[in-house]
Amino acid sequence: MQISHAGRQTPGEINSSPMAPSNIRLKIPGKNYGTPVPMTEEDILDVIEKFVFTAKIARETGFTGVQFHSAHGYLLSEFLSPDINNRNDAWGGDIENRARIHLEIIKRCREEVGEDFPISVKMNSADFQKGGFAADDSIIVAKMLESAGVDIIEISGGTYEQPKLIGVDDLTINPERSEQRKESTIAREAYFLEYAKDIRKAVSLPLMVTGGFRTKEGIEDALKSNICQIIGIGRPLCADPYCVKKMIAGDLEILPSFEKTLSLGPSILSPSSPFTIIKAINAFGAMAWFYQQIKNMAKGLMPNHKQKLFNAFRADMKADKIALKDYLDH
């Protein structure tokens, strides 16, 4: 079970004054995010206990492990990022203080779930944002997590403002603050493998890398290199739930890349459009398309590969509005 807290990335319709380390608001065109209320010491301790309580319930209800989500700009990730966390108390400042909430969660979690229950942390390799959580920081935090008794670290990257997590390097919400990945890294099949390589030199616990893996050769090379011990597969499984099984059986050499065929339209309407808003609609529309496939499978249906990107985008927005109304009504 993955356990997370949205922090300042909570939609404004849900909470116009979400909790976060500091009062730095997330600004994304077309999206409504409220100005965060800086968490008090009591708030932080309460959130720690809620993470721990959820992990305890996960074990009691039959889950075989938990993962704490500290990537992609969510609350735990926000504490690590110096451009979001500008606190001057025990929970901010140097990297040790910014990582304190993680270490406290892990310590308390171990007390509740025991030593034989796997604990994973999903962590950014970097925020790819000037002044944000950097690759060098991730190495330091990985060492801390290993010392604290974490069993697995998953390597990812990016935030809502710098969405490298979806593998789009030329899309950024705040261009003036963006930090690009190295060309050699962009050229690799897996988005974050290069960063995992540096973390591997610092820790001995198992690493998981998710993002971009498509070929059997690329997956086998990553595992044989000992950079990571676990491969995360996301989008291919969303639209073909049997693709990994086919690859393991030797019936498939390359996992499907549905995202390469998803587009609003040709030319300036494509993902390579010169207009940022069109790029963004294509990128987030593709995410909506995959969401729709997951929802199909949740209903016992197979993925609908014929669904158009814009139709999926509209369907996802409509579903969000219905879910929001239901939430507010209750």
189-238 pLDDT, tens digit per residue, is 788 999 999 999 999 999 999 989 999 999 999 999 999 999 999 999 99
From the candidates 74, 160, 191, 242, which is the catalytic residue? 74
Rounded distance between C-alpha atoms, residue 49 and residue 232, angstroms: 28
Residues 18, 131 share a domain? yes
Residues 163, 211 share a domain? yes
Q: Tokens 């997956």 identify what position?
A: 219
* Residue 282 located in a structural domain: yes
Of 282, 283, 275, residue with least CA distance to 160: 283
Token representation of residue 208: 């998981």
Residues 124, 83 share a domain? yes
What is the Cα Rg of the chain in Å? Answer: 20
Residues 169, 276 share a domain? no
Number of alpha helices (DSSP H) and beta strands (DSSP E) in the chain:
12, 8
CATH of the domain at 71: 3.20.20.70
pLDDT above 70 as % of the chain: 91
* Residue 104 located in a structural domain: yes
Domain count, the chain: 2
Whether the model pTM is above 0.95: no
User: Which tens digit of pLDDT belongs to each residue from 110-161?
Assistant: 999 999 999 999 999 988 888 889 999 999 999 999 999 999 999 998 887 7
Residues 132, 93 share a domain? yes
Residues 149, 92 share a domain? yes
Residues 147, 90 share a domain? yes
CB 253 within 8 A of CB 232: no
* Residue 149 located in a structural domain: yes
* Residue 240 located in a structural domain: no
Token representation of residue 312: 């999926």
* Averaged pLDDT, 228-250: 96
* Residue 244 located in a structural domain: no
* Cα angle 291-77-288, degrees, rounded to a multiple of 5: 10
The parent domain of residue 94 ranges over 2-232
CB 179 within 8 A of CB 131: no
* Residue 253 located in a structural domain: no
Residues 86, 197 share a domain? yes
Residues 279, 194 share a domain? no
* Residue 248 located in a structural domain: no
Residues 199, 146 share a domain? yes
**Has 74 been annotated as catalytic?**
yes
Rounded distance between C-alpha atoms, residue 159 and residue 246, angstroms: 32
Residues 266, 218 share a domain? no
Asked if the model's pLDDT at residue 183 lies above 80, the reply is no
Residues 266, 204 share a domain? no
* Residue 176 located in a structural domain: yes
